[in-house]
A and B are shown apart, each in its own frame.
Chain A
Amino acid sequence: MRTTTSGVSRRTVLAGLGAGAAAMAVAPRVALADKAATDEAIAKILGGVKAQDGKVKIQLPQIAENGNTVPFTVSVDSPMTEASYVKAIHVVAEGNPSPQVASFTFTPTGKATVSMRMRLGKTQDVRAVALMSDGTAWEARQEVKVTIGGCGG
């Protein structure tokens, strides 16, 4: 009967090696933003204000075949008058090399809707945070499944 002297079976060793190799294979070339880093970035932008869910609507495709140009529209429920308007909208992406996408600064004019196109490196959540003139903050998020990443190179 064969025994393992070290107490470590051949199978455990192989499994360990396999897992290690797999980890190496998926290790990103660049440090990616994650949820914690994104939370931190948002907290820094808001400076102590806590964002509540609501008022903000973020429109994105559910599946983006090309991560190089993913259209997005953010709109906020606000009258946009001197008395009550959206001061800023911040868009952040959780799975890009760095979470910042864009920040928009508004004045009491028009309506609080803005559209652009962004790059997404992989499937991830995109978040929009609105800062209002009354000091409150509101947030919305949506997941986008990315087929081909847009940070290539």
Chain B
Amino acid sequence: MPTPRVKIPASAAKGEVFEVKTTIDHDMESGQRKDKDGKPIPRKIINRFVCTYNGKEVFSADWAAAISANPYLSFFLTATESGTIEMKWHEDGGQVFAASQAITVN
């Protein structure tokens, strides 16, 4: 079971731009590799990432097989109000991994 890790400041001033850093343990199997019998290993990657801030979608990403294993991502948001920042990673085949963190805006 991949474990997402998220780094967001616990609090921020209203209007402040802060960085969101995330990683998730995942092989990101590209579909290009072959096993020791020469058979192709089927593709299994996280193909989509979505970030919501108090339920509103603020950032998303679509990933191809060219993204490295254990995908690391950094992006920026503006602190508008206290609440929850939620992240979801969508894997090939439909499985979804999630993480969330509270932020206090003052």
Residues of A within 8 A of B (CB): 30, 68-70, 80, 93, 96-98, 100-107, 109-111, 113-120, 150-153
Give the chain A neighbours of B103 by CB distance below 8 A.
none
Give the chain B neighbours of A101 by CB distance below 8 A.
63-64, 66-67
Apart from A101-B63, A113-B76: 5 A-B pairs, beta carbons within 8 A: A107-B59, A111-B76, A116-B68, A119-B66, A150-B68
Give the chain A neighbours of B68 by CB distance below 8 A.
68-70, 116-119, 150
Question: CB distance B77 to A110 under 8 Å?
Answer: yes
> What residue in chain B is nearest A30 (Cβ atoms)?
B32
How far does the Cβ of A56 sit from chain B's closest Cβ, in whole Å?
16
Interface flags for B51-95 (1: CB within 8 Å of A; 0: not) read 001000111111111111101111111101000000000000000
Give the chain B neighbours of A103 by CB distance below 8 A.
61-62
Question: CB distance B72 to A117 under 8 Å?
Answer: yes
Give the chain A neighbours of B60 by CB distance below 8 A.
104-105
Q: Which of B33, B64, B73 contacts A114 (CB 8 A)?
A: B73
Determine the distance from Cα of A103 to Cα of B27 in the docked complex, in whole angstroms: 20
Give the chain A neighbours of B96 by CB distance below 8 A.
none
Determine the distance from Cα of A116 to Cα of B32 in the docked complex, in whole angstroms: 20
Q: What are 28 sample pairs from A and B whose C-beta atoms fall under 8 A apart?
A: A30-B32, A68-B68, A97-B65, A100-B64, A100-B66, A102-B63, A102-B67, A103-B62, A105-B60, A107-B57, A110-B18, A110-B58, A110-B75, A110-B76, A110-B78, A111-B17, A111-B76, A113-B75, A114-B61, A116-B74, A117-B67, A118-B68, A119-B30, A119-B68, A151-B30, A151-B32, A153-B33, A153-B41
Ordered nearest first, which 10 A-B pairs have the shortest CB separation? A153-B33, A110-B76, A100-B64, A117-B68, A115-B74, A101-B66, A110-B77, A69-B68, A103-B62, A109-B78
How far does the Cβ of A106 sit from chain B's closest Cβ, in whole Å?
6
Determine the distance from Cα of A69 to Cα of B74 in the docked complex, in whole angstroms: 15
Give the chain B neighbours of A115 by CB distance below 8 A.
72-75
How far does the Cβ of B58 sit from chain A's closest Cβ, in whole Å?
5
How far does the Cβ of A139 sit from chain B's closest Cβ, in whole Å?
18
Question: CB distance A98 to B64 under 8 Å?
Answer: yes
Give the chain A neighbours of B30 by CB distance below 8 A.
119, 151
Determine the distance from Cα of A113 to Cα of B17 in the docked complex, in whole angstroms: 11
Give the chain B neighbours of A105 by CB distance below 8 A.
59-62
Question: CB distance B59 to A116 under 8 Å?
Answer: no
> What residue in chain B is nearest A120 (Cβ atoms)?
B66
